[in-house]
């Protein structure tokens, strides 16, 4: 078989050489020495050589490639040698695939994805059920995989087959607070009730990726053993086991973040074997840490190449053909509407007052709104979305790249766009005063009841009249005339004209808000949820420097825009699913599993509230009633817990599940999709094409270029869902990075900024979980330290460590010293905490909290408090900015590399010398738990 495959590959190489008319040599690389001898000289122009010869002859100066090849070769030799020498087995052999498949079908084995507990990575992993479940056990919960041997060489993210252990061997999950430590044994009193427990008997799909690792120090390397070239490196992600690689560069790379790949994990080896790939940057350096976050989330952020942006040259019979993809646009020669295209579109430029409402500094304006009175007295509501698909043809180079990225990635200090900037910030952005192509959804509404009488979908040409920011729009809604000065389009007008236009705009914003209230009320009656996230908004000064980090202030106009977008997404979902019942891309939000609400119910009960989780409507009503008038943060935390209990909303193909599963739990809608942000979401591009295909279908046109098969669409949905999760993780991790950078240089003993008020929201056996509103931080506060001492409070309620014991109850925890002193902390208590940074050479730094007083944090002078609050937050981001910029300048000097400004700016997607000025372009910096993200 191998000989036949080699011959087939060689024949393909010869065919391609002849197809190119002998103008381009073809190289076939193989490690089959017989093939090299047999085919090496058979066809002139077709080279059959080994990989080593290929590197030596074609890339002699590519040092990194030669080092990588040597690393892989050495690892393979050592693996073969080890297999021969080591007869003992560290792990059981995996069962053959055919046995696993049969066992899964019969119910003997259970299939699922392995999720390692990052806080107890050596001990705990869980398998979430998928596919066929066990017919006998009818499991409703995850399966605990306890210990490394039971995990049997499976790595976090692998799809595995699990065999349940006998009932008497079941164990409970850890309920104690725990740091990312390496103990292989948990104290007996820290586990919960026994749960289904199993062992991995086979791996169905390995989901290995690139891993960021750190080399051991010189002392640790020497302690590892006799062979200095075989090194155990420690992954950045606690959930990944140490990896053994072969390299001669261990000492030189001790201070760097490095990328490695796993090659294999034999049953005779305690650790997996891998090889060195590349260096990312120095440990602790901002750019190196950001690069680590990107690699860990498999995010590729290479700049859009000139081939993708401008043209592609193809050689066809020795004639080079220039294939233009991106339209040209510049300040001197801006893009203009094509006269032929103009005839095909509904022209709204002179008939509709269209405007956008976005955060300050937003460049990629996806959407705009309109409302007007029709001649018959009814109203017309319009949602106008950038027509990205007009410029991004299916399967073009730009489309392929956008599909691979799937989303725009927003980090704490930068963003990486899904589309080239000529589209995202210019031609497709619905800026004011310029003509743009759009896809518009227009509803006719009854003038008083707002009942929807009809809806139409059109390709349009629009000219937005205003580019409003949220604060200005809210001001208009509230009758605050001072915001008029912030509306650029109303400047330089005579008083009469300005007043007339202002009256029209105020009427439109007010009418839109009234319609949105009606639409929201209708969803509320069906059980729509209003959930809570911990969100921080970035505020910049006049010079684009970060002035403050403030909690996001909810404005009614936020809801107005959101409801209009939800409405458009809902109606487009109905349209495309009706026309393509088995090939439409929708977004589902499954009902959460009831056991995930246990902590929410218990916490609410501690405050005397009852939470009904039987349905989304019951949950919404319960949360509305769970209000403590003396402490509004209680309701916010309960809503945050409800958010955390939710499943993730996911894209899917309508042909992959029954229609009753289409429902969106959080929004209380039977069908939903994403249509309103095609500049930054690839799912919306797919939906735009489907919507246009419905028009072609109705006119008997050919839709094959617009529609995926159900199988291909479902595969694409899996990819987009994966990329969305990666984007959420990366944003969260980058935010945590900057939080640590700020506190790292502060002295918690003397710096007031390290002391803050915290609210207890969960009880554990050895401590509590606390939320710090001032900085949007959630973390663990231990009441028992590693020496076994417990927290004790003095007369002034300050805390210190003393011998004693802890007693945990459902809604509180009591610390009692050996001398009889006791202190009790209850759910939703306010305490004073100290904020520290727990540094790690091999992993990301983390925020650590310590209780210092069993009382709320107070500053007596209110004015001083408010002043310090703003200074603290201003200093936080300014100091991080300053230190990062200094490091960046030092790096540039050390490298002595001339960076072309245009390419650098495109790569980092920034608009100024400071990396941090880009924060003006970030919408809302959310510090949500990733698992809780169910946004529309």
Q: Render pLDDT for 28-75 as a digit per residue (tens, 0 to 9).
A: 998 888 888 888 888 888 889 888 888 888 888 888 788 778 777 766
- Percent of the chain beyond pLDDT 70? 81
For 331-336, what is the mean pLDDT?
Answer: 89
pLDDT in tens, 382-414: 999 999 999 999 988 899 999 999 999 988 888
| Neighbouring-strand partners of residue 926 | 535
3-state secondary structure of 377: coil
3-state secondary structure of 497: helix
Measured distance CA(113)–CA(239) in Å, rounded:
14
Q: How many CA within 13 A on the CB side of residue 916? A: 26
Indicate whether 783 pLDDT > 80: yes
Burial of 116 (0-12, 13-18, 19+ CB in 10 A): buried
Instruction: Give me the chain's average pLDDT, please.
Output: 83
Indicate whether 325 pLDDT > 80: no
pLDDT score at 330:
84
Burial 509-522 (b: 16+ CB within 10 A, else e): bebbbebbeebbee
pLDDT score at 249:
83
Output the six-digit token pair for 467.
């580019």
For 581-598, what is the mean pLDDT?
Answer: 91
534 touches 778 (CB < 8 A): yes
pLDDT score at 238:
94
* pLDDT confidence tier of residue 88, bands split at 50, 70 and 90: low
Measured distance CA(794)–CA(18) in Å, rounded:
88
Structure-model confidence comparison of residues 595 and 875, the more confident one: 595
- Strand ranges inside 219-330, DSSP E: 230-235, 243-246, 256-264, 273-282, 311-316, 319-324
pLDDT score at 414:
85
pLDDT in tens, 433-479: 999 999 999 999 999 999 999 999 999 999 999 999 999 999 999 99
Asked which of 14-28, 296-310, 633-647, 768-782 is least confident by mean pLDDT, the reply is 296-310
pLDDT in tens, 115-167: 999 888 888 999 987 643 333 445 667 899 999 999 999 999 999 999 999 99
Measured distance CA(195)–CA(192) in Å, rounded:
8
Measured distance CA(518)–CA(512) in Å, rounded:
10
Measured distance CA(327)–CA(850) in Å, rounded:
57
CA-closest candidate to residue 637, choices 828, 869, 463: 828
- The residue with tokens 């026309």 is 579
Question: CA angle, 452 as apex, 451 and 455 as ends, to 5°?
Answer: 170
- The residue with tokens 């979305």 is 385
Measured distance CA(875)–CA(882) in Å, rounded:
10
Find the DSSP H helices in 544-681: 556-579, 598-606, 616-625, 633-645
Indicate whether 905 pLDDT > 70: no
CA-closest candidate to residue 734, choices 870, 930, 905, 934: 930
3-state secondary structure of 383: strand
Measured distance CA(825)–CA(803) in Å, rounded:
18
For 662-674, what is the mean pLDDT?
Answer: 94
Indicate whether 186 pLDDT > 60: no
pLDDT score at 844:
93
470 touches 358 (CB < 8 A): yes
pLDDT score at 913:
37
> Which residues have CB under 8 Å from 715's CB, separation 6+?
none
- The residue with tokens 């904020």 is 835
Measured distance CA(371)–CA(353) in Å, rounded:
7
Q: Record the pTM.
A: 0.81
pLDDT score at 321:
36
3-state secondary structure of 499: helix
381 touches 561 (CB < 8 A): no
* pLDDT confidence tier of residue 609, bands split at 50, 70 and 90: very high
Output the six-digit token pair for 302.
């290479």
DSSP H or E segment with residue 712 = helix 710-744
363 touches 278 (CB < 8 A): no
Measured distance CA(924)–CA(554) in Å, rounded:
11
Measured distance CA(779)–CA(772) in Å, rounded:
8
For 906-932, what is the mean pLDDT?
Answer: 36
- Strand ranges inside 132-255, DSSP E: 143-146, 159-164, 171-174, 191-195, 197-205, 211-214, 230-235, 243-246
- The residue with tokens 């990225």 is 405
3-state secondary structure of 246: strand
3-state secondary structure of 700: coil
Indicate whether 287 pLDDT > 70: yes
Helical packing angle, 682-698 and 397-405, nearest 10°: 130
Max Cα–Cα distance, the chain, nearest Å: 93
């Amino acid at each position: 078989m191998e000989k036949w495959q080699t011959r087939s590959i060689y024949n393909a190489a010869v065919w391609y050489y002849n197809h190119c008319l002998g103008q381009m040599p073809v190289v076939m690389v193989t490690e089959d020495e017989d093939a090299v001898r047999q085919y090496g000289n058979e066809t002139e122009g077709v080279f059959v050589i080994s990989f080593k010869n290929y590197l030596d002859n074609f890339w002699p100066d590519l040092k990194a490639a030669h080092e990588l090849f040597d690393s892989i070769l050495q690892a393979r030799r050592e693996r073969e040698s080890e297999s021969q020498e080591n007869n003992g087995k560290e792990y059981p052999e995996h069962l053959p695939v055919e046995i696993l498949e049969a066992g899964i079908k019969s119910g003997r084995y259970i299939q699922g994805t392995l999720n390692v507990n990052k806080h107890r990575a050596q001990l705990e992993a869980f398998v979430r059920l998928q596919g066929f479940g066990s017919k006998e056990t009818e499991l409703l919960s995850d399966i605990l995989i306890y210990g490394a041997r039971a995990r049997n060489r499976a790595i976090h993210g692998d799809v595995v087959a699990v065999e349940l252990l006998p009932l008497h061997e079941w164990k409970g999950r850890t309920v104690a607070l725990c740091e990312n430590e390496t103990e292989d044994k948990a104290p007996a009193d820290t586990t919960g009730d026994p749960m289904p427990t199993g062992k991995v008997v086979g791996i169905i799909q390995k989901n290995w990726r690139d891993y960021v690792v750190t080399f051991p120090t010189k002392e640790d390397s020497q302690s590892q053993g006799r062979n200095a070239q075989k090194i155990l490196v420690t992954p950045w992600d606690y959930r990944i086991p140490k990896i053994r690689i072969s390299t001669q560069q261990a000492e030189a790379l001790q201070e760097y973040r490095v990328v490695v790949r796993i090659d294999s994990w034999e049953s005779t080896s305690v650790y997996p074997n891998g090889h060195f790939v590349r260096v990312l940057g120095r440990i602790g350096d901002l750019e190196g840490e950001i690069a680590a976050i990107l690699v860990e989330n498999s995010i590729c952020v290479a700049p859009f190449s000139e081939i993708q942006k401008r043209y592609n040259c193809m050689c066809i019979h020795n004639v080079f053909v220039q294939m233009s993809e991106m339209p040209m646009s510049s300040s001197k020669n801006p893009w203009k509407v094509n006269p032929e295209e103009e005839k095909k579109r509904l022209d709204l430029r002179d008939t509709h007052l269209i405007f956008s409402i976005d955060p300050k500094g937003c460049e990629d304006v996806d959407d705009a709104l309109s409302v007007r009175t029709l001649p018959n007295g009814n109203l017309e509501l319009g949602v106008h979305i950038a027509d990205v698909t007009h410029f991004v043809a299916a399967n073009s180079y730009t489309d392929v790249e956008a599909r691979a990225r799937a989303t725009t990635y927003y980090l704490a200090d930068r963003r990486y766009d899904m589309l080239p900037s000529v589209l995202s910030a210019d031609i497709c952005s619905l800026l004011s005063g310029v003509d743009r192509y759009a896809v518009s959804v227009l509803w006719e509404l009854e003038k008083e009841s707002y009942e929807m009488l009809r809806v139409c979908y059109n390709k349009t040409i629009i000219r937005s009249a205003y580019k409003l920011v949220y604060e200005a729009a809210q001001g208009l809604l509230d009758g605050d005339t001072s915001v008029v000065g912030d509306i650029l389009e109303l400047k330089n007008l005579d008083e009469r004209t300005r007043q007339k236009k202002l009256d029209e705009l105020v009427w439109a914003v007010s009418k839109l808000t009234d319609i949105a209230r009606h639409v929201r009320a209708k969803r509320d009656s069906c059980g729509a949820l209003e959930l809570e996230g911990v969100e921080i908004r970035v505020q910049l000064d006049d010079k684009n420097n970060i002035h403050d980090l403030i909690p996001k202030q909810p404005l009614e106009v936020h809801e107005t825009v959101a409801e209009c977008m939800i409405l458009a997404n809902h109606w487009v979902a109905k349209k495309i699913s009706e026309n393509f019942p088995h090939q439409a891309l929708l977004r589902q939000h499954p009902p959460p599993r009831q056991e995930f609400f246990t902590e929410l119910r218990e916490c609410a009960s501690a405050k005397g509230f009852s939470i009904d989780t039987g349905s989304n409507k019951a949950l919404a009503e319960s949360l509305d009633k769970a209000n403590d008038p003396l402490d509004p943060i209680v309701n916010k935390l309960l809503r945050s817990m409800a958010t955390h209990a939710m499943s993730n909303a996911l894209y899917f193909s309508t042909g992959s599940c029954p229609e009753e599963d289409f429902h969106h739990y959080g929004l209380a809608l039977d069908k939903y999709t994403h249509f309103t942000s095609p500049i930054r979401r690839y799912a919306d591009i797919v939906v735009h094409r489907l919507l246009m295909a419905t028009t072609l279908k109705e006119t008997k046109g050919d839709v094959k270029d617009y529609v995926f098969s159900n199988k291909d669409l479902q595969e694409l949905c899996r990819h987009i869902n994966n990329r969305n999760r990666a984007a959420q993780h990366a944003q969260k991790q980058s935010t945590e990075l900057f939080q640590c950078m700020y506190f790292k240089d502060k002295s918690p003993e003397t710096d007031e900024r390290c002391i803050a008020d915290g609210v207890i929201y969960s009880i554990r056996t050895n401590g509590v979980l606390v939320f710090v509103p001032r900085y949007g931080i959630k973390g663990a506060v231990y009441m028992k330290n590693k020496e076994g001492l417990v927290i004790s409070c003095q007369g002034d309620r300050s805390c210190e460590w003393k011998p004693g014991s802890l007693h945990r109850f459902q809604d509180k925890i009591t610390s009692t010293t050996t001398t009889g002193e006791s202190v009790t902390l209850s759910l939703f208590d306010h305490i004073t905490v100290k904020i520290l940074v727990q540094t790690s050479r091999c992993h990301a730094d983390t925020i650590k909290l310590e209780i210092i007083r069993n009382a709320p944090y107070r500053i007596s002078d209110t004015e001083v408090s408010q002043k310090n609050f703003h200074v603290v937050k201003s200093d936080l981001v300014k100091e991080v900015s300053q230190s990062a910029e200094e490091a960046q300048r030092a790096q540039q000097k050390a490298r002595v590399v001339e960076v072309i400004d245009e390419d650098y700016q495109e790569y980092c997607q920034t608009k100024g010398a400071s990396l941090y000025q880009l924060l003006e372009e970030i919408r809302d910096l959310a510090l949500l738990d990733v698992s809780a993200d169910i946004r529309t």
